[in-house]
């Protein structure tokens, strides 16, 4: 066992932070660390329960996540939050605002908050998100919440990480047709129309319920209205999330197996893409591209130097 992992399992938060930084940054030896983790989430659903929280920007995902943490802690669960923030196109750094928004939990030893930079990855997640979840899994958290960037049409990456996907919308999110175009109908295990005090919340909820019925999936995604700001309706959403976990552990096991199967493929492709990017950045071709002596199309041709 890696020394940092042993310390992190003994609730050493500094060791856990360092371990995640090594994995996220792809430091030498990080893949060996990931291989040694023995993460439970690849073996069976619900241990730990990984919940993906996604939806368009401005839907109140961070406030909703904060409420879910509060309820889980009231039940005595150890909770980790992975919040993927937009990254700067210049530096690759992130705003990392979720630590500020969830300040109430900062001193709670049963809660661990970690912000990741998207680092330009599409799909609402950092390429290292799944590996970071594996670290938190191996350390022994009961519930891991993964909050995506909120890019709308590219949220499918969360399927490769989460057991249960909670889609948070607002009355301003638009009609169901637009929602379906964003792919959210297909990935949602639970819907929540947040900011339910605003006009149009009930109408959007009814439209979502109709769309779920027409979709005909084995698990019909429940639709809730709630107000994360004051906590109204959040407990009912969490109850549906837990019912979905129970379904996955029983009649829905085949669906979970399929999701994990696809997740392994996506993780492999992400690792290949990251390795190719790093190799390309270290190539002398970069200087040729910067000078204009070589076109990107020519440099990337199959069989070329790259």
Residue 205 pLDDT exceeds 70: yes
- Residue 230 vs residues 64, 77, 197, 234, 241: alpha-carbon distances, Å: 10, 22, 11, 9, 20
Is the same domain home to 134 and 197? yes
> Strands (DSSP E) along 118-273, which ranges?
143-147, 164-169, 190-193, 223-225
- The pLDDT value recorded for residue 234 is 95
Q: Which residue range is the domain that position 6 belongs to?
A: 1-36
Q: Do 55 and 158 fall within a single domain?
A: yes
Do 272 and 218 share a structural domain? no
Whether 82 and 168 map to the same domain: the answer is yes
Domain identity same for 76 and 222:
yes
Mean pLDDT of all residues in 202-228: 90
Q: How many domains does the chain have?
A: 3
In this structure, what token pair is assigned to residue 69? Answer: 């943490």
Same domain, yes or no, for 225 and 111? yes
Same domain, 207 and 166: yes
Asked if 265 and 133 sit in the same domain, the reply is: no
30 pLDDT tier (thresholds 50, 70, 90): confident
Output the DSSP codes for 152-194: STTGGGGGGT-SEEEEEE-GGG--HHHHHHTTHHHH-SEEEE-
Which pLDDT score is estimated for 123? 45
pTM score, whole prediction? 0.85
Q: How confident is the model at residue 88 (pLDDT cuts 50, 70, 90)?
A: very low
Lowest mean pLDDT among 4-8, 45-49, 120-124, 145-149: 120-124
Q: Which of 221-225, 227-231, 238-242 has the lowest mean pLDDT?
A: 227-231
H-run or E-run covering 100 = helix 98-101
Last residue of a domain, one of 213, 232, 251: 251
* Residues 138, 100 share a domain: yes
* CATH number for the domain that contains residue 168: 3.40.50.300
> Bridge-partner residues for 287, per DSSP?
none
| Kind plus residue range of the DSSP H or E element containing 84 | strand 79-85
**Residue 112 and residue 172 share a domain:** yes
294 DSSP 8-state letter: S
Tokens 């993460």 belong to which residue? Answer: 39
Count H helices and E strands in the chain, helices first.
13, 7
- 208, 236, 251: which is the final residue of a domain? 251
Q: Quick check: 122 pLDDT over 60? A: no
- Does 61 share its domain with 134? yes
Same domain, 151 and 234: yes
Q: Using omega within 30 degrees of 0 as the cis cutoff, is the peptide bond preceding 103 cis?
A: no
């Amino acid at each position: 066992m890696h020394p940092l992992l042993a310390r992190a399992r003994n609730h050493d938060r500094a060791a856990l932070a360092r371990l995640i930084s090594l994995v996220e940054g792809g430091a030498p030896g990080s893949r060996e660390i990931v291989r040694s983790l023995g993460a439970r989430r690849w073996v069976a659903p619900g241990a730990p329960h990984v919940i993906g929280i996604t939806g368009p920007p401005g839907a109140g995902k961070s406030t909703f996540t904060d409420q879910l943490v509060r309820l889980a802690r009231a039940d005595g669960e150890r909770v980790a939050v992975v919040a993927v923030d937009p990254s700067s196109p210049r530096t690759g750094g992130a705003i990392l605002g979720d630590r500020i928004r969830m300040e109430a939990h900062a001193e709670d030893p049963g809660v661990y908050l970690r912000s990741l930079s998207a680092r330009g990855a599409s799909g609402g997640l950092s390429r290292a998100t799944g590996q970071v979840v594996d670290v938190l899994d191996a350390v022994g958290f009961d519930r891991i919440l993964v909050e995506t960037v909120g890019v709308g049409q590219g949220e499918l990456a969360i399927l490769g990480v989460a057991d249960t996907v909670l889609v948070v919308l607002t009355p301003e999110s638009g009609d169901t047709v637009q929602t379906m175009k964003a792919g959210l109908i297909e990935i949602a295990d639970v819907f929540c129309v947040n900011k339910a005090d605003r006009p149009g919340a009930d109408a959007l909820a009814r439209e979502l319920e109709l769309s779920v019925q027409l979709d005909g999936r084995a698990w019909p995604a429940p639709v809730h209205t709630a107000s994360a700001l004051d906590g109204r309706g959040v407990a009912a959403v969490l109850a549906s999330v837990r019912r979905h976990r129970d379904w996955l552990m029983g009649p829905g096991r085949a669906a979970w197996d399929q999701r994990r199967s696809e997740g392994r493929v996506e993780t492999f492709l992400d690792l290949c893409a990251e390795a190719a990017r790093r190799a390309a950045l270290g190539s002398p071709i970069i200087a040729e591209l910067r000078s204009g002596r070589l076109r990107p199309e020519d440099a990337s041709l199959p069989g070329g130097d790259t």
